[in-house]
Structure 1
Amino acid sequence: MAEAEKAGTYPGGDVEKHIVPVANAPGIDDVGILKHANKNDADEAFKVLVEGGETIVITPDEERRLLRKIDLNLMPLLCIVYGLNYLDKTTVSYASTDIHLVGQDYSWIGSMFYFGYLFWEWPTNRLLQRLPLAKYSAFNVIMWGLTLCCMAAVKDFAGAMTVRFFLGVFEAAVSPGFALFTSQWWTIREQGTRTGWWFSFNGWGQILGGFVAYGIAVGTEARPVSIKSWQLVFLVIGLFTAFMGFIFLWWMPDNQLNARFLTPKERRMAVERIRMNQQGVGNKHFKMYQFKEAITDPMIWAFVFYSLVADIPNGGISNFFSQLIVSFGYTNTQSLLLGTPGGAVEVVALVVAGHLGDRYKNRLVSHLYQEEMFGFLTWDMQLISTSGLLIAALGMLLITCLPESHNAGRLVGYYLTQASPTPFVALLSLISTNVAGWTKKTTVAAMYLIGYCVGNIIGPQVFQDKDKPQYRPAEITIIVCYLVCVLDILFIYFWCKRQNKKKAAIRAASGYQKLEGQEFLDLTDGENPEFVYSL
């Protein structure tokens, strides 16, 4: 068929499709035309910016002011709530020194949270797409705060397991929801930094939680109260979380078009500035072809594999850090306070990695190339997020290899392990950046966090009661997991570079045309030739 004959209206749709000279690509039929572009299924931004016919020009000064306004109004709320997300699920670690459990009971309490998370992860991602994003997220914040309060009333192992399960159910919406907020409000050049900011509040949560738990423990020893210190920890943190959930409900917009802190003109500008993301601002319809693309994409399975393997160490260390510090020769009360510098390491690592990733336009490695020197083939590589993983592996080696008499050195090793989340956060930000199509994006977020759940379920189980206080088999398992994750990151890097070359060839081919408003037609990253993967 001649190129001229391919133009026009595609049967079954009512918008003119652009011509793609390469057939058999994802989402492209046998004559080289996009199969799924349909303005009747576009998001609200399409109606405002394309059908409305209004041309929006944003000067650099206007964009800087708008970005600052978005950051100041949204980022503090995202950061605080995400910090509480981490603090709430690890509060059991602060109370662990006061709760008397037998054998593997504590490990199962740590894992049960992730059984709830796993059970509800797919349904909650579908609801994040179908329901108003901010309102559904706020509901979950309120409910998880109130659920945490219930932990103060548990009297036995069964009660603790039940509460932890439902805590996981309500917290399952947080990370995928925040990834959607990030892709919705910030450009691909800004998303790595912003994801690093809000995820770094895991570290602030660890710092705050340590001081709160230590203060309550010391205070109740000096002035005994009618409830135990660990019960007071759950009540104080749980009620504050619920309060922040109501603030979130009142202030957080579902998208740019109902943001109360923006003027009508600024709302349209906020949509225009994210046009370059090729993702729009949201689509509420489930699309089976996007679901199928998600579960057959090798890049996505590499994401899931990383999430599973990397969170085996996370699940173990986050639930057992108090016990590890006690094994270094410190008291139970001291362990609460000594865990706080680990949070500071995590904050610095995430903020620095996020900033450098956006600055060098590469979140995994800044550059990676071959060159021949003195007859040998060598690689030059500057690590970005992956450096945190290697620092964490060094830390675990210190814990494992140093003699038991080197308590300070092993404690420093624990602090270094807290740099490990940098690649996890980079990949979470790449779900915002590199996955387009709202059904595909929510599916991928669910898959990624299902891997997260499985890893965190396994993690506490590698810390066997029979191995304490050193937990040597668990420490070796963690080191192996870190090294496997480095290889997975390199696979993702090379895969994305390869796909970008293929898309560049399509765009450069004779006869290629870009469809007007294509950015807002809810196309996937695989079917959209204009989509460029970030690294």
Structure 2
Amino acid sequence: MSTDQVQAEDKKSPAVEMATMEKQNSIEVGEVSEISEQDIVAAEGEYTEEQYKQLRRKIDRYLLPLMWLCYGIQQTDKTALGTQATFGLREDTGLHGQQYSWLTTVFYLVYMIFEFPSNIVLQRYKMGKILSCYMICWGVVVLCIGFAQNFTHLVVLRALQGLFECCISPGFILVVGSWYKTREHASRSLVFQSANAGFGIISSLALYGIGKRGAKNPDSEPWRWMSYFLGTMTILVGVACLFLLGTPSEVKWLSPEEKRMANARIVGNNTGHDRTGVKKWQWKQVRECLIDPCFWFAGINAFLSSLPNGGLTTFAHIINTSFGFTNLQVILLDIPRSAFSVLYFVAVGLITSRKTGLRLFFMIGSTIPPFVGFLGMAFIPNNPSMKWTKWGMYFMTVPYVISLFLAWSLIPSNTAGRTKRTFTSSFTFVGYCVGNMAGSQIFKAKDAPYYIPGVIGCAVCFGLEFAVLVCWRIVLVLRNRRLDKAIANDGLTEEERTLRAKKMGEEDKTDFENPYFRYTL
């Protein structure tokens, strides 16, 4: 398209504005998904900055507390097995050898198998309702774990739990992308992901109370009551999500006009709105993923970060008791670790929302302390006088999740095209699942209770992840430099380039197909 054609389009703007006003007046509840791409682009300039700020505050008020609670419950449900293991789960169900490790492996194996189909379901149907139903189902499964009597019961229930939890994290990433501007992706993602630690404080206190009561009456099998508590809470929150969670076109707490404004607010992301590309799966975008180095970086990074995560979530409580702490002390010692994690999340979220180009720097830097911490846990002598030093090494592993969570936030920021974004998200979570499965298996029963080979393996992963993240940032920097060179002599104004980029985003073009797409660092 030439500059003259762009000017001709600008002359049509009064007619477009008139059509937009007529369209706006005819909008009814439930019709927001049918708003045209042209209308969404034209609508962006119809609202004031103050109106957008008021809408953002409303979105934050409804979505962020709900997503924080959902994500926190999911993480607690998923990792409570480690706490339950120190309160008699292994003994009461007759687990032996690697059977305990397989409870984590089968969870992530089923998680991985159903990851891709679940993401297609999220793309095709109402995301909020699908996520809510999945959450209620996994709550029922967690509740049933409290009734398990043997390995067969546990392995079947953990498989079902993996099936129903597989779409929560990728679903939330797509939700963030459908509501927030690119610059807001990291901070909003980190808000709900901080529940990984923040809700952990609440759950640790609750599980401590259950465990302490059980210590007075060992026959009460406190690990079962932990499942009853967590399962019931999950079901209740899932029911609440049925009424509150969703994308702009789905939720009931926005007026039709606010839904239109919500879609117009993110048009500058150049990735389309929440209904862009939902009706058609585009295989050409899948093929584009396979030749995009960043697609592979995302998956490899997820694997390398998740392998230590799989080991920690399954064996951290057991390893900490090997330092010389009791099972109740280990629960309490998780609280300062979780508190620091929340503060770190908040700091990173605030900084990345105010200054651009820092996400990958934080991701790279966050691999260094856990690398040192795991080596310390492996090589510092195991004796009572060193237990606090070894716990300090364990404390140093806190930042590692930033490398994974910020990478998730890069998916909606740097991946345009609905199918490409969905496929990238699915592949990333396949890496996440495979890493967690491998992490639970490198901690061998014969190495108990210190698991030194597994701990060293985790340190090696962080060293490799550091190298992957450096390469990832170099690729994105080179792409942006290539963009700067291309637009330097294209004869277009900044406004013309911005308009073209927005239109291509609404047409479901990928970041490769959109010559004006700039990558977030």
| Residues 399 and 410 in structure 1, CA contact (< 8 A), matched pair in contact too | yes
In structure 2, C-alpha distance between the alignment counterparts of 1:163 and 1:355, rounded to whole Å: 39
Partner of 2:463 in structure 1? 483
The change in CA–CA distance for 1:349 and 1:79 in structure 2 (over 3 A counts) is same
Structure 2: how far apart are the matches of 1:145 and 1:363? 37
User: What is the deviation of 1:72?
Assistant: 0.7
CA 1:340 to 1:276, structure 2 compared with 1: closer, same or farther past 3 Å?
same
CA distance in 2: counterparts of 1:174 and 1:490, whole angstroms = 29
Residue in 1 that maps onto 2:25: none
Listed as ranges, the gaps of 5+ residues in structure 1 are 9-15, 17-42, 366-382
C-alpha separation between the residues in 2 aligned to 1:209 and 1:119? 29
Partner of 2:512: 526
Deviation at 1:224, TM superposition (A): 7.0
Provide the C-alpha distance between the structure 2 equivalents of 1:178 and 1:517, rounded to a whole number of angstroms.
25
1:192 is paired with a residue of what secondary structure?
helix
* 369, 376, 391: which one aligns with 1:398: 376
Q: Which residue of 2 aligns with 1:330?
A: 325
Match of 2:170 in 1: 176
Structure 1 equivalent of residue 282 of structure 2: 287
| Structure 2: gaps of 5 or more residues | 10-31
Whether the aligned pair in 1 keeps the contact of 2:416 and 2:509 (CA below 8 Å) is: yes
Q: Which residue of 2 aligns with 1:242?
A: 235
1:447-458 matched pairs, under 5 angstroms: 447-458=427-438
Q: Which residue of 2 aligns with 1:185?
A: 179
**For 1:138-176, what per-residue CA distance to the aligned partner results, in whole angstroms no more than 9, with x for missing partners?**
111111111111111111111111111110111100111
Aligned to 1:203: 197
The CA distance in 2 between the partners of 1:78 and 1:62, in whole Å, is: 24
Please give the alpha-carbon distance, in whole angstroms, between the structure 2 residues aligned to 1:139 and 1:104: 33
Cα distance in structure 2, aligned partners of 1:110 and 1:393: 23
Residue aligning to 2:298: 303
Judging changes above 3 Å, is the alpha-carbon distance between structure 1 residues 55 and 158 closer, same or farther for their aligned structure 2 residues? closer
In 2 relative to 1, CA 478–336 (structure 1 residues): closer, same or farther, beyond 3 Å?
A: same
Aligned match of 2:61: 72
| Shift in Å, 1:202 | 0.7
Whether 1:462 aligns to 2:449 is no
Contact 1:323 1:469 in 2 (8 A): yes
What's the TM-score, normalizing by structure 2? 0.87
- Partner residue in 2 for 1:22: none
Q: 2:405 aligns with which of 416, 419, 425?
A: 425
Partners of 2:517 and 2:197 in 1: CA distance: 34
Question: Match of 1:28?
Answer: none
CA distance in 2, matches of 1:55, 1:83: 34
TM-superposed CA distance for 1:44, in Å, is: 3.7
Q: Given that residues 44 and 281 in structure 1 are in contact (C-alpha distance below 8 angstroms), is that contact kept between their aligned partners in structure 2?
A: no
Selected match of 2:225 from 205, 209, 232: 232
1:89 maps onto 2:78 in alignment: yes
Deviation at 1:250, TM superposition (A): 0.9
CA shift, 1:323, in A, is: 0.5
In the alignment, what sits opposite 2:248? 256
Distance 1:52 1:81 in 2: 33
Following TM superposition, by how much is the alpha carbon of 1:46 offset from its aligned partner in structure 2, in angstroms? 5.2
Letter in 1 for 2:67: L
Question: Which residue number corresponds to residue 135 of structure 2?
Answer: 141
Q: Which moved more, 1:262-271 or 1:48-57?
A: 48-57
Distance 2:53 2:40 in 1: 27
> Which residue is equivalent to 1:159?
153
Residue correspondence of structure 1 range 310-459 to structure 2 within 5 A: 310-365=305-360, 383-404=361-382, 405-459=385-439
Give the deviation of 1:59 after TM superposition: 2.6
Runs of 4+ in 1 over 6 A off after TM superposition: none
**Offset at residue 54 of structure 1 (A):** 5.1
Offset of residue 319 of structure 1: 0.8
More helix by share: 2
User: Which residue type is aligned with residue 347 of structure 1?
Assistant: V
Indicate conservation of the 8 Å contact 2:183/2:356, yes or no: yes
- The alignment partner of 2:36 has SS state of helix
SS of aligned partner of 1:256: coil
Change in 2 beyond 3 A, CA 1:462/1:55 = closer
The partner residue of 2:211 within 207, 213, 217 is 217
Report the Cα distance in structure 2 between the residues aligned to 1:424 and 1:453, rounded to whole angstroms: 13
Q: How does 1:12-31 map to 2 (within 5 A)?
A: none
Shift of 1:498: 1.2
The residue identity in structure 1 corresponding to 2:519 is Y
**How far 1:69 sits from its partner (Å)?**
1.1
Counterpart secondary structure, 2:356 = coil
Deviation, structure 1 residue 258: 3.9
Q: 1:62 is matched with which residue? A: 51
Partner Cα distance (1:444, 1:363) in 2: 22
**Equivalent of 1:267 in 232, 237, 259:** 259
- Structure 1 residues 494, 249: closer, same or farther in 2, change over 3 A? same
TM-score (norm 1): 0.85
Find the aligned partners of 2:44 and 2:227 in 1 and give their Cα distance.
52
1:375 matched residue in structure 2: none
Q: Secondary structure at the match of 2:146?
A: helix
The alpha carbon displacement at 1:256 in A equals 1.8
Deviates more, 1:390-399 or 1:438-447: 390-399
Which of 119, 129, 132 is residue 126 of structure 2 equivalent to? 132
Q: Which residue is 1:373 aligned to? A: none
C-alpha deviation, 1:340, in angstroms:
2.7
- Identity, in percent, stands at 29
Maintained 8 Å contact 1:357/1:384: no
Which amino acid is the alignment partner of residue 195 of structure 2?
Answer: F
Give distance in 2, aligned partners of 1:48 and 1:247. Answer: 32
Between the aligned partners of 2:418 and 2:438, the Cα distance in structure 1 is 30
SS at structure 2 position matched to 1:526: coil
Contact map agreement 2:41 2:264 (CA 8 A) in 1? no
